[in-house]
Structure 1
Amino acid sequence: MAGSAPARAAARPGPLAFLRELPGLVLLALLLAFVVKALFVQAFYIPSGSMEPTLLPGDRILVNKIPYYLHDPSRGDVVVFEDPHARPTRDGWLARVLHWFTSGLGLTRPSHEDFVKRVIGLPGDVVEAKRGRVFVNGRPLPEPYLAGRTRPFGPVEVPPDQLFVLGDNRGASNDSRFGLGFVPIENVIGKAFVVIWPPSRAGLIR
């Protein structure tokens, strides 16, 4: 019995053993973060008021990538997508990696290449606004998420494999009515489904 205590002490890993394993643990954590962000869920920071009142500046949201592996976006979905007119960045590779990681955690603002808007028109739809309301294929679109009216535009027909998107804050949104234009479905990153920060606004996105 007297010799068992030193044996147990020798078998117990010391702090140096943990320090030797730490780089491997950090690498594993980064690898898992990469896989989750690349394939499943990604965090985004909301930098502007173009989606008010649904999303406010400073909100952090989670975007689910899984649904659009199975089907295309649906009308009414709030989606995050890459700017179809974005120019390649000139940042160095290290700056791009750091930005990719921190923006994916929602710690920094996303690059100018990412937008969040609501899907209004699907391929083949005819979209227009008149009398303060949006019409799709001649029928008024129910929009309980809006706080105001929509200025007249269109009609426009959505091309194949494209989406017509609008911000919920119709008076202050760069969207498919203006310079953004139609959004290729292949540019869609995922569906925004929940606000995770600040705690006072945490909840599902509708």
Structure 2
Amino acid sequence: MEQYTSQASPELTNPDPTPKKTRRTSFWIDTLETIVMALVLFLAINAVSSRVRVENISMKPTLQPGYLLVVNKLAYKLGEPKHGDIVVFDFKGAGEEDYIKRIIGLPGDQVVVENGVVSVNGHPLTEPYIAELPRYSGSWSVPPDSYFVLGDNRNNSSDSHQWGYVSKNDIVGKAVFVYFPFDSIRSLVIPDLVQAAN
């Protein structure tokens, strides 16, 4: 004899109380919220940082052409540039292209290049990061709110030794991180030998 149960099937006793139309609306609301959150996050990240591609050889060997960098745009709104910082700046008269160089002289500094040695306020810098010793010479007194910048590839760089100083207002931010190529990922820290000049 077959046995039957008088209980209703679970599908009938617990029907989904949410109509299909409400579920569809909920899906679109969730999707829209996700898109809005992603957009807000994207805008927030772009407000405090930017991404820059190195286009030339002026910062070799530290930065090679094709490197992609993260630039902190708040660094100098919250603090002051230091000797050795690698900065991205909008050089007036350079067209659309931003420049990337290393800060050598701060406002009030006396920078001297002589016999292949760069000195700041009478103190020679030991610079393990440069491609070769500079083959030029000169002396510069850095004015207020300005910076003396040089490329690490000293003899193949258009920089302050040719066209003068960079205004603080023209600095976009501080280069802080190489994120491409993957085998070169690293933080861009100030060398100890340059920190001693601060």
What is the deviation of 1:41? 1.8
Report the residue type matching 1:168 in the other structure.
D
Q: For the Cα contact (< 8 Å) 2:71–2:177, is it kept in 1? A: yes
CA contact (8 A) 2:131 2:154 kept: no
Runs of 4+ in 1 over 6 A off after TM superposition: none
Q: State the Cα deviation string for residues 146-202 of structure 1 (Å, max 9, x = none).
A: 1310123221111110000000011211111113x2100111121111100110111
Residue in structure 1 matched with residue 82 of structure 2 by the alignment = 74
Tell me which residue corresponds to 1:194. 177
Uncovered stretches (5+) of structure 1, i.e. residues with no partner: 88-110
The 1-side partners of 2:61 and 2:54 are apart by: 12
CA RMSD for the aligned pairs? 2.3
The one-character-per-residue Cα deviations of 1:19-61 (angstroms, maximum 9, x if unpaired) are: 56656644543343222212x2211111111111111111101
Listed as ranges, the gaps of 5+ residues in structure 2 are 1-9, 190-198
Q: Would you say 1:156 and 2:140 are equivalent positions?
A: yes
8 Å contact 2:52–2:71 — kept in the other structure?
Answer: yes
1:36-47 aligned within 5 A: 36-38=45-47, 40-47=48-55
Alignment of 1:203 with 2:186, yes or no, is: yes
The 1-side partners of 2:99 and 2:187 are apart by 19
| Correspondence for 2:110 among 126, 130, 136 | 126
Over residues 56-107 of structure 1, what are the superposed CA-to-partner deviations in whole Å (9 max), with x where a residue is unaligned?
Answer: 11110111233312221000001111113355xxxxxxxxxxxxxxxxxxxx
Task: Give the TM-score normalised by the residue count of structure 2.
Answer: 0.80
Larger gyration radius, structure 1 or structure 2: 2
C-alpha separation in 2, matches of 1:189 and 1:18: 41
**Structure 1-normalised TM-score?**
0.77
Structure number with the bigger relative contact order (C-alpha 8 A, sep ≥ 6) is 1
What is the number of equivalent residue pairs in this alignment?
A: 179
Aligned-pair identity (%) = 38
What CA distance in whole angstroms lies between the structure 2 residues aligned with 1:20 and 1:187?
43
Q: Is the 2:51–2:69 contact (alpha carbons within 8 Å) kept by the matching residues of 1?
A: yes
Give 3-state SS (helix, strand or coil) of 1:5's partner. coil
Deviation at 1:7, TM superposition (A): 2.3
Instruction: Give the deviation of 1:132 after TM superposition.
Output: 0.9
